[in-house]
Structure 1
Amino acid sequence: MSSAQRKPSTANDGFFQTVPSIRNQFYDDVSFQRVMDLFLPKSVIESITPELANFGDEILSKRIFDWVTDAERNVPYVRGGGRDAFGRRTSELVVSEGWRQLQNFGIENGIVAIGYEQKYSESTRVVQMLKNHLWTGSNANVSCPSAMTDGAAKLLKTHLFSTQLEPASRRVFQDAYDRLISRDPQKAWTSGQWMTERGGGSDVSGTETIATWAPSNDGFVSNLPLGPWRIDGFKWFSSATDSSMTVLLAQTPKGLSTFFAPICRTLPNTSASPIEKESNGIFIQRLKNKFGTKSLPTAELELSNTRGYLIGKEGQGIQEISAILNITRVYSAISAVGYLGRGLAIAKSFAKVREVGAGKGKRLMLKDSPLHMNTMAKIAGEYHSLNLFTFFGTWLLGISEQDQIPARSEPPSSRARLQPDDPANIQLLLRVLFPVLKATVCKRSIHTLQECMEALGGVGYLDNTENESINIARIYRDCCVLSIWEGTTDVLASDTLRVLSGRIGNGVLNAMDRWISKALGSDFGSSPFASAKRDITTIWGTLRDRLRKESHEKLLPSARDILFQISDIIMGVLLIVDSENDINPAAMEVCFRFLEEHGLASSGALRNLEGGLKLNQQIVYGDGMEKSFASQSKL
């Protein structure tokens, strides 16, 4: 149509873009479905499908996104700036109704509780984290306190099994544990985790919080006495500030130690007046103003005569707190792939409704653009590699929490190739897996999520609170924190190298040797990945020998490169096993591309498959690209 025939557009007339409609990711996410098939028995998949499919629908509802918008718009604040009308110190944190409702929704749906109900034995953690994965893009960061709550529950559970726990601590820990894993919002607690001080982030060696043995009867919590330790100090970063309890580090005469402390205490009832609650000596100095995670209250806290209980032994604080760190690092990885999965879902839905020029007067949908779909296929491939790595770690965590390696009650599967035969090997793998997993998945998800945002053009950069379901800018901001908290990339690289060059280093390397050999198999035969398997084995052998021969000091400048090389090898193995599970052409192509791009196979030596439009569409949308599921976003 010539310009002379066109009518001028107005604010209310002319072209309006169709709003993308996100499908239920339980069905629509190709990688999500493949992860389930690889890491869960068929009987478990059949059992969880109704619940997770319904959950996938609920979290895309208008009600949920209205809560998200409310939590983002009405950010937390301290009433009165921390003082009452007459200048007395207070510490009343105010959070939005949306935040409270999202928190309660997560509790009711067992975001933490599933991990402790043990309904699916060694598959329990995978089921729990599949639900968390779906939940990430819709929860406005309530998964942060969930992560710390889960970690605190695991730590307390460990000590409740101990015969050395004295009776008063046992009663308090049992009460707290029962609340941490509850599905009842009226009973449930969330937990904070307070480590960071002004002197350092992950470096807690200079902790200035002091714990003193000073028994007292100056209050109660849950009708149980407050702890016999007095804790004083200043915590620089404390997320989950609205929690009911916390686990924190403090110095004692015997060294850095871990403590349990409730946030509030009940005053003794000495008159006919109602029982009153007050802060357990915890005062908000100020709330942090952050780039993202705006809805999440993160504070600077002063602790003054805070009462608490020692967890474990004095001087073993790092050992105790590491149980929480392992859990929170898994949650960080799950959040990263959860954000990325949601970003990809938004970009996929946009490509189905956005029309662009194709030259010579032609127009086509983005989903039919060879260039755009090539980019989208790269995003989908990167996402799948990170998803496999994340759920491999989650699966091993679930197995490690069983009393013994479960006996196989089903026919041999690809999953069996990935399972170490010895429980000791699982523990050794996890010691290096957690830092490598968290560092790699969080770092790469941020970059790949930015590609999803760019796939929407200028609309992707907007803070689309009026269409919260496609507000990819919000989830990108929130995702950026994941490579920083619970250990930056360099901190985790240093931790990885410290493990590999330490006293258990040789054991970890041997465990990796055995795992790679078992997963790839001894007879490569006619596998389309035979050449790649030989290359991976050689590359791993070279890296392993280097780690054994060179000193920690010499390796340290390359620690980040070593970390990423280990992660690439692990993901390469996982992609091969996943591809050989069903010889799906799209999955095989994703694997081939990853191996070439990450230097795990000779370029061009793998296959002669064409990476054309149809194959890229299959990688992004799956086999049934045009299939319409009944479960879609209600927006």
Structure 2
Amino acid sequence: MNYARRDPALHAVVRRWTDGEDLQRLDALLDALGEDAAGRLDGLAATADKNPPVLRQFDRDGNRVDEIVYHPAYSELCEAAYSTYGLSALSHRGLHGWAETPPHLVKYLASYVFVQAEFGLACPVSMTDAAARVLELFGDSDVFGPWIDGLTSVDPATSMTGAMFMTEPQAGTDIAMTETVAEPRDGGWRLTGKKWFASNPDADVIVTLARFPGGEDGSTRGVGMFMVPKKLPDGSPNNFTIDRLKDKMGTRSMPSGEVTLSGAHALQVGQLDRGFVQMAEMVNTSRLSNAMRASALMRRSVRDAVDHTRDRIVFGKPLFEQPLMRATLLELCLESEASLAMVAYSAKCLQAADDGNPDSKQLIRVLTPLAKHFICKRARVVTGEAMEVRGGNGYIEEWAHARLVRDAHLGSIWEGSSNVIALDVLRCMRKFNAHRHIATTMIGVLAGLGPDCADGRSVLVRAWEDLTERGDRLLISSTDVAESGCAHYANALAQTIMQTLLFDLANHSIHSTGDYRGLLVAFAYLDRSDDVSAEALSHLGAVVDGTAVDRESALLASPLADSTVGATR
């Protein structure tokens, strides 16, 4: 078993958006990680899930220590993530054969493979990466250099982990309600307040928000960004306590807790009145990571379901050959493949944005919430359906399905619940006509497609024109109408983006390898009406395994195919 080798969607995006030495290095990394994830890491993840961390608040002499005790399986997973594969460092330094920092796509695809084994640890890995990013972007390198070095180190002796403390008992969605206060003292700051849902609470570097003297009351401009180190310069503990750990539905391997800051030493990051805007950079990075993780959960659950149906004999033949089961599996496969296409494309846009492309900066600003909103919700459905495929055993914790379902519900909650994310999409539309920017970009993608993709192009160009008009109407409607309708509209945008990207991937595969499997997948995802595509169903094995599909079969899957030559209708 190798998670990377058995993933045709992964192969497609790697070959579409990397080439040359980048392709060779990424293939080697994914191959090694794919084998490790399917074997050693998967076993460790199962053990860590059954043995969650424990908070030890006092030592035997009654001294407050707030030590979190981890099972050795989780510690070994940490070594793999932070050191062996350097997942939190890949966006900051050269690793795995890259002399310079590799493209963002490398980090997201490597993490996607890792998460198929272990989901919980991916949260602190993402926050460590994001903490280094915001300190690099907004902090003084002379001040924060040592912490940035630690956050991006792959040496267990020097590496640090990061965390993001935003949620308070009364403030999560509404950051303007933050009550933690910051007071200047001794050239730094002292923070006092309570953080209610703090994941990785024993992190070495904590990025958080607090109100500052003279700041605007009741506004996010009155909230500054601060870095709270775990240790003071003399090596003693900083002035905060971990009050208790949360008993969570999922991500049980990784601790989340309640933290009280009692005059904790902190350093200011960037401009005081730009704290929330700066924190948004960290949040957006984590949101894209959420979408990536949801995509990984889908892939793992679908692959497990497919393997089960090939082994399970029902009514005299494998379950995989039963017509209704084939229809179920096809839908799950399409959801999984489309989600990875959007995550990978977003990673490419993030890279272009970081390289200074202004169009990409606007595009990634809206792609990130769109990906989180749609993909994370679909992961809940896909993992649940995949669990059902295995029947009663799927509900048993000895199999991975139940854990995947539990973890899948998290993506729609952390870094902003779905409604908050949909409102963020609406904010982008109001600020820079994001829907029009997306439509223009996607129509440009469609314009580059070859003749075999003509049916898809014609359908999708009309879809983008309709979505543009629909978005315009949403913007001129009343506030209540716009806000109540923005979630459905965000879903339509996300799904049409994924439909477009699947045709782009198919077009690349046709011209680079002559294989039409991608076109079959694109047509099937485009036309998911009540009538299941018979052509796609007949080639389910190719969809699942990534084997070749001929041109005629792929074209017959088009919703516009001529019924006289064997169309799907």
TM surpasses 0.5: yes
Deviation at 1:191, TM superposition (A): 0.5
Q: Is residue 2:440 matched to residue 1:514?
A: yes
Instruction: Please give the alpha-carbon distance, in whole angstroms, between the structure 2 residues aligned to 1:209 and 1:552.
Output: 31
The answer on whether the counterparts of 1:137 and 1:475 sit within 8 Å (CA) in structure 2 is: no
C-alpha separation between the residues in 1 aligned to 2:327 and 2:263?
Answer: 60
Matching residue within 163, 181, 184 for 1:210: 181
Q: Distance in 2 between matches of 1:85 and 1:439?
A: 47
Following the alignment from structure 1 to structure 2, what is the Cα–Cα distance between the partners of residues 120 and 348?
Answer: 39
Contact 2:517 2:548 in 1 (8 A): no
Cα distance in 1 for partners of 2:104, 2:384 equals 29
Residue 116 (structure 1) aligns with: 92
Secondary structure of residue in 2 paired with 1:491: helix
Q: Answer yes or no: is the 8 Å Cα contact 2:201–2:257 preserved in 1.
A: yes
2:26 to 48, 52, 63: 48
* Aligned with 2:319 (options 345, 366, 378): 366
Distance 1:47 1:73 in 2: 35
Cα distance in 2 between the residues matched to 1:371 and 1:193: 45
CA displacement, residues 465-500 of structure 1 (integer Å, 9 cap, x when unaligned): xxxxx5221122112111100011100011111221
**Residues 113-172 of structure 1: CA deviation (Å, up to 9, x unaligned):** 111125387961111111101100223511110111111111111135xxxx4xxxx434
Q: Does 1:30 align with 2:12?
A: no
In 2, Cα distance between equivalents of 1:582 and 1:523 = 11
With over 3 angstroms needed to count, the CA separation of the structure-2 counterparts of 1:328 and 1:204, relative to structure 1, is same
Pairwise CA distance, 1:85:
5.0
SS at match of 2:260: strand
Candidates 554, 570, 590, aligned match of 2:521: 590
Residue 390 in 1 paired to residue 324 in 2?
A: no
Tell me which residue corresponds to 2:73. Answer: 98
Q: Would you say 1:256 and 2:223 are equivalent positions? A: yes
Matched, 1:619 2:543: yes
Contact 2:58 2:64 in 1 (8 A): yes
Q: Tell me if the contact between 2:82 and 2:154 (Cα under 8 Å) persists in the aligned partners.
A: yes
Aligned counterparts of 1:90 and 1:535: Cα–Cα separation in 2: 62
**What's the offset of the Cα at 1:328?**
0.5
Q: 1:244 aligns with which of 185, 192, 204?
A: 204
Matched residues in 2 for 1:619 and 1:37: separation? 17
1:419 equivalent in structure 2: none
1:120-519 paired onto structure 2 within 5 Å: 124-139=103-118, 141-159=120-138, 165=140, 170-215=141-186, 228-253=188-213, 254=215, 255-265=222-232, 267=234, 277-357=235-315, 363-402=316-355, 404=356, 423-464=357-398, 470-501=399-430, 504-506=431-433, 508-519=434-445
Structure 1: give runs of 5+ residues left out of the alignment. Answer: 1-22, 216-226, 268-276, 358-362, 405-422, 465-469, 626-635
Distance 2:448 2:294 in 1: 34
Q: 1:557 to 1:76 in 2, by over 3 A?
A: same
Contact persistence 2:449–2:504 (CA under 8 A): no
Q: Name the CA distance, whole Å, in 2 between partners of 1:587 and 1:522.
A: 16
Q: Is the 8 A contact 1:141 1:295 kept in 2?
A: yes
Kindly state the Cα deviation for residue 196 of structure 1 after the two structures are TM-superposed.
0.2
Structure 1 pair 490–395 and aligned structure 2 pair: CA distance change class (3 A): same
Distance in structure 1 (CA, Å) of the matches to 2:260 and 2:533: 62
Alpha-carbon offset, residue 27 of structure 1: 1.1
Deviations 1:383-430 (A, max 9, x none): 11111111111111112222x4xxxxxxxxxxxxxxxxxx22111111
Q: Deviations over 1:536-572 (max 9, x none)?
A: 2332232233244334443111111111111122112
Counterparts of 1:523 and 1:366, CA distance in 2: 37
Report which of the two structures shows the higher radius of gyration computed on alpha carbons: 1
Aligned to 1:410: none
Query: For the residues of structure 2 that align with 1:609 and 1:343, how far apart are their CA atoms?
Result: 22
Distance in structure 2 (CA, Å) of the matches to 1:375 and 1:97: 39
Match of 1:68 among 22, 45, 48: 45
Query: How many angstroms does 1:312 deviate by?
Result: 0.6
Say which is worse superposed, 193-202 or 572-581, in terms of deviation: 572-581
- SS where residue 206 of structure 2 aligns? strand
**AA aligned opposite 2:351:** G
Work out which structure has the larger RCO, using CA pairs closer than 8 Å and 6 or more positions apart in sequence: 1
Could you say what secondary structure the match of 1:305 adopts? strand
SS of residue matched to 2:286:
helix
Counterpart CA distance in 1 for 2:509 and 2:101 is: 23
Residue identity in the other structure for 1:514 = T
Once the two structures are superposed, what CA deviation does each residue of 1:547-598 show, in whole Å capped at 9, x if it has no partner?
A: 4433444311111111111112211211222222234544323322322338
**Distance in structure 2 (CA, Å) of the matches to 1:621 and 1:614:** 13
Whether contact under 8 Å (2:521, 2:536) holds in the other structure is no
Name the residue aligned to 2:506.
Answer: 579
| Counterpart residue number, 1:12 | none
Given that 1:235 and 1:300 are in contact with CA atoms closer than 8 Å, whether structure 2 keeps it comes out as: yes
Confirm or deny that 1:543 pairs with 2:470: yes
Secondary structure at 2:282's aligned position in 1? helix
Q: What SS class does the counterpart of residue 535 from structure 2 fall into?
A: coil
What letter is aligned with 2:277? Q
Which structure: greater helix fraction? Answer: 2
Q: Which letter does structure 2 place at the counterpart of 1:491? A: V
Give the % identical residues: 26
Aligned-residue offset at 1:524: 8.5
d(CA) in 1 for partners of 2:320 and 2:239?
57
User: TM (normalized to structure 1)?
Assistant: 0.79
1:291 maps to a residue whose letter is M
Which amino acid in structure 1 is aligned with residue 92 of structure 2?
A: Y
The answer to whether the 8 Å contact 2:313/2:319 transfers is yes
Residues 4 and 113 in structure 2, CA contact (< 8 A), matched pair in contact too: yes
Quote how far apart the aligned CAs of 1:313 are: 1.1
Report the Cα distance in structure 2 between the residues aligned to 1:320 and 1:95, rounded to whole angstroms. 32
Q: Separation in 2 of the partners of 1:120 and 1:39?
A: 19
Question: Does the 8 Å CA contact 1:373/1:617 hold for their aligned counterparts?
Answer: no
User: What is the root-mean-square deviation of aligned Cα atoms in Å?
Assistant: 2.4
- CA distance in 1: counterparts of 2:167 and 2:542, whole angstroms: 46
Alpha-carbon distance between aligned partners in 2 of 1:234 and 1:91, rounded to the nearest angstrom: 16
Per-residue deviation, residues 231-284 of structure 1 (Å, max 9, x unmatched): 1100000001131110000110222000011112354xxxxxxxxx44311101
